[in-house]
Structure 1
């Protein structure tokens, strides 16, 4: 499930494979992208930079053209050497960007659009993003101020719903939502009006620490495209890598109480919590 850490790692890998190189191959199964390519060829352009913003990934090409993608639930970027066998079937391919030595292939990407800097500035989903939890300038204090503002403007919002709101803080997804609430000992269904500043600071701090812990690989010069299962517990056993997410009916790793799960919010996303460690009072 792509969350901000997954997109950050994808952008980092794509940066190492593509940046500064000329596009020698472009292929797409998406008609809107093909029309742009027909009118203003993508091949021959230079990849200037790649960046992540929350769950969005942006590839900047010369000539003021930006490829914007969002993975939603099932999309992914892969990097291959020319001629290397793909790990996914061709029917899942949505676009290919080829440069000297590498081919970046997007599979099952539900949102892929070309923009100019001007049209991107009008893209509300991108321009209204809150501060990215993985941005170098993000601090727990940044998160606290965003959560305080949301509590003031929407006091009836539930905590876990706010953590998923990309306009408050960008990058957190359903896994981190439950994990952060657990380690901060905050019940995910509490109203924002009941939260103390200390609790909100803990949420922001834990969100940043867990996200950063899951992007550490790849600091060297090599291209890293897979870093293993997401972890929040620091336990070696891969079956014990998460505190509560996906563990409904199983015992809490801290107190042994049965983990609960319930759908939450307009999107009816599953939320997991320990009723003993995360009391709602």
Structure 2
């Protein structure tokens, strides 16, 4: 499951192998858009959250979105692929390397003058993996989210606010901030919203140079709550819970013992559990007798 830090490491590897080299072969069986031509030179490889762009010197840009299943691999010529050919979505070859994209749900091309008109990329927020990301803009977008009833656990996965945060980092950031994942985003003060953004950026950038993710220093395994359902919380010793949340239906991991900041009040439903017509008549009669 790729997160923002994974895509940035992938982009760095592809940049080393592809940039300033002429492409000798391109293949993408499900490509939407113009086909990049052999003989063109790769000029740029960039990551934006789970999006990865490769641009050639004629202005053609290959855009791949990794989502949950996509991955780019690098192989020297003659090396066997680590995934079956049926999962291949794009291949870029030069005189030394083969860059292969597997299982990306979205593989498309467009030309650079149309970048601002691209329906997907035009709405992406700042990438927290980048040191030049505008964190003030991220805080503003978070606190002014267009649905004030949305929970912070859902909003952190919305790439329009900022990108780079996947499910793992969502859970770990909320734990680090001791923030309830069910807190309405409209209830957060600016100081807490700023802390959420800064913690997310710090954790993502700290993991850009190594594959093993460490989000909680001194914690065995490096993760505080993600994937630890039923185990004890390292901070308060309560039990880590999990459930699916929001439209994305991703599994959320949190500790109900210490993640209580801005936790919403429980909703008490006093509606009678038995709505059978006979039960309603009985309850109405009972209320009438009490009134007498």
- Provide the TM-score with structure 2 as the length reference: 0.85
1-side partners of 2:32 and 2:165: how far apart? 29
Choose the corresponding residue for 1:186, options 160, 179, 190. 179
1-side partners of 2:170 and 2:157: how far apart? 7
Choose the corresponding residue for 2:200, options 180, 199, 207. 207
Change (3 A) 1:108 1:127: same
Deviation of 1:31 after TM superposition, in Å, equals 5.4
Gaps of 5+ in 2: 265-292
Check conservation: 1:251, 1:259, Cα contact below 8 A. Answer: yes
Report what 2:58 is aligned to: 63
Check conservation: 1:65, 1:115, Cα contact below 8 A. Answer: yes
1:111 aligns with 2:114: no
1:230 aligns with 2:225: no
2-side partners of 1:17 and 1:23: how far apart? 11
Report what 1:74 is aligned to: 69
Check conservation: 2:4, 2:164, Cα contact below 8 A. Answer: yes
What does 1:141-156 correspond to in 2, within 5 Å? 141-150=136-145, 153-156=146-149
Deviation of 1:138 after TM superposition, in Å, equals 1.9
Report what 2:129 is aligned to: 134
Check conservation: 2:236, 2:257, Cα contact below 8 A. Answer: yes
Check conservation: 2:143, 2:186, Cα contact below 8 A. Answer: no
Deviation of 1:172 after TM superposition, in Å, equals 0.8
Q: Secondary structure of 1:7's partner?
A: helix
Report what 1:224 is aligned to: none
2-side partners of 1:8 and 1:143: how far apart? 19
Change (3 A) 1:144 1:17: same
Choose the corresponding residue for 2:255, options 256, 270, 274. 274
1:255 aligns with 2:232: no
User: Alignment length, in residue pairs?
Assistant: 262
- Provide the TM-score with structure 1 as the length reference: 0.88
Check conservation: 2:148, 2:186, Cα contact below 8 A. Answer: yes
Report what 1:7 is aligned to: 7
1:53 aligns with 2:48: yes
1:246 aligns with 2:227: yes
Gaps of 5+ in 1: 218-226
Check conservation: 2:24, 2:95, Cα contact below 8 A. Answer: yes
Report what 2:188 is aligned to: 195
Larger Rg: 2
Deviation of 1:32 after TM superposition, in Å, equals 3.9
1-side partners of 2:167 and 2:245: how far apart? 11
Check conservation: 1:74, 1:108, Cα contact below 8 A. Answer: yes
2-side partners of 1:234 and 1:112: how far apart? 37
